Amino acid sequence: MSPATVSDGARRFAPGAAALREQQAYVAGQAADARVNVELDTGDMTLNIGPQHPATHGTLRIACRLDGEQVIAAEPLMGYMHRGYEKLCEVRTYPQCTTLINRIDWLGSFANEVPFILAAEQLMGVEAPPRAQWIRTILFELSRIANVSLFLGDMGVQIGALTPVFFAFRDRERVLNQIEEVTGGRFHPNFDRIGGLKDDLPRGWIAETHAVMAKMRGFCDEMEDLLMGNEIFQTRCRGVGVIPKDVALSHGLSGANLRASGVDWDLRRDANPGLAWDQIDWRVWTHPDGDSFARYWVRMQETREATKIVDQLLDSIPSGPIMTKVPLIIKVPAGEAYVSTENPLGEMGYYVVSKGGLGPFRVKIRTPSFSNISIVPWVMRGTYVPDIITILGSLYFILGDIDR
């Protein structure tokens, strides 16, 4: 892929916060430009993006049909990383399942464990002690910061700016160090237990984490200066890949992708499954534009908000045990439960069916990226080839989260 073709960018630059622009209007504008080259009879051609492409964060293949440089149809082809977790969970006990679940969204692993454990706790009728819930929420938000800060830098790579991603890797490591200090794992903590947590916080961790949160706020400011205010970045992202509200809802988009389309919906606030988010003061950020820029902006604000959430939670951790009494061999009573949480990528939910055995009878894993990427055929139609990369980047997905 050639790097940013910015020469025609000014045409797409929407000054200020443009009101919701229908994609049809955008496509019509592009089609009008394409008419300039009408004497060049360009037949349809097929272009494969991926399976190995930096923008795909793994092995996603997108088969595009092009007319000149304009996309007529784009169809994601996945399954290169399908590991069959729903089937594998059926032959494992509940504690063994968390090992698999860690590897769905590998950049925010701890956040994956929480809804599954909460679903099992609902079925068993046990509740973790307040201290455990507080620490769960803190680690959940740290996973969000570690996950989304990488996006904030990586979005620059998609438009040819290489520096931000190195800053992101540098500063993400600070957060991963904090997670590692508690759980022993940088990426796969496997720390959440039915009834509580494996361990308590180490000594001195709270002060260190406060310092890291301040650093991460600095990182966000840095990204804003480096990237968000950059004219090329704005030109490539504003008014590109617009997803209106109703389309986003009917495709099941979730997380920042939904909020960037102006839907005020966050499961942390609207369907809190029992963690500490309702105990503190924070807000949900939305943006009316629905374009790539809005998705970046919302994630930036959410990262800042998450640092504030962590700071408040750290100051108010209750004392007490971190584990409630549960049997050694966990047998979950027969029943069904669905718990979903607002993970770094969006709504992640587990529908757990138990028949009273040692392991689940069926686990349906609702992953955010699967639904988020299902918008690709709709949103790519009529865009130009370089925009495929920025739109994909702004939708932000993790391959393990699509393929499970």
Partner 1 sequence: MADDTDDGTETPGDEARDALAAELAELLGDAVVETHVEAGQNLWLRIEIEHWRTAITALRDAGFVYFGFLSAIDWSDAPEGRYEDTEFDGAGVGEDEEETTSATASDTVRRGGGETRFQLLAHLHAPARHAAVLLKADVTDVDGAPASVPSIIDVFAGANWHEREAHEMFGIVFDGHPNLEHIYLPSEFEGHPLRKDFPLLARAVKPWPGVVDIEEIPPELEAQLEAEVMASFEASGAGA
Q: Give the residues lining the site for partner 1 (CB under 8 A).
A: 78-79, 82, 84, 86-88, 90-93, 96, 122, 246-247, 249-253, 263-265, 269-272, 278, 281, 283-284, 286, 321, 323-325, 327-329, 334-338, 340, 347, 349, 351, 353-359, 361-362, 364, 366, 370-371, 374-375, 378, 403
Shortest reach from residue 404's CB to partner 1, in Å: 8
Question: How far apart are the C-alpha atoms of 404 and 398, rounded to whole Å?
Answer: 10
Nearer to partner 1, 171 or 347 (CB): 347
* Least spacing, CB of residue 29 vs partner 1, in Å: 24
Q: Which is nearer to partner 1, 170 or 364 (CB)?
A: 364
Which phi and psi (to 5°) does residue 28 adopt? -60, -40
Specify the residue, 105 or 403, whose C-beta has the smaller distance to partner 1. Answer: 403
- Least distance (Å) between residue 321 CB and partner 1: 6
> Which residue type sits at 30?
Q
Min separation Cβ 397 and partner 1, Å: 13
Locus of tokens 């200020």: 16
Expressed in angstroms, the distance from the first to the final Cα of the chain is 28
**Shortest gap between Cβ of 367 and partner 1 (angstroms)?**
9
DSSP secondary structure of 36-59 = GGTTS---EEEEEE-SB-GGGSSB
- The Cβ of residue 365 has, within 10 Å, a number of other Cβ atoms equal to 21
How many CB atoms are located within 10 Å of the residue 356 CB? 11
CA distances from 129 to 112, 126, 277 (A): 20, 10, 15
> Least distance to partner 1 from the beta carbon of 79, Å?
4
Residue 189 or residue 196: which is nearer to partner 1 going by CB? Answer: 196
Nearer to partner 1, 11 or 83 (CB): 83
Those residues whose C-beta lies under 8 Å from the C-beta of residue 75, and which sit 6 or more positions away, are: 62, 63, 64, 376, 377
Give whichever of 160 and 252 is closer to partner 1, judged by the CB atom. 252
How many CB atoms neighbour CB 65 within 10 A? 15
Q: Between 127 and 222, name the residue whose CB sits nearer to partner 1.
A: 127
The nearest distance, CB 98 to partner 1, in angstroms, is 14
Distance from chain centroid for Cα 164: 19
- Closer Cβ to partner 1, 215 or 364, answer by number: 364
What's the min distance (Å) between Cβ of 5 and partner 1? 30
Torsion angle defined by CA atoms of residues 108, 109, 111 and 114, in that order, rounded to the nearest 10 degrees: 180
User: Number of helices (H) and strands (E), helices first, in the chain?
Assistant: 16, 8
DSSP bridge pairs for 338: 351
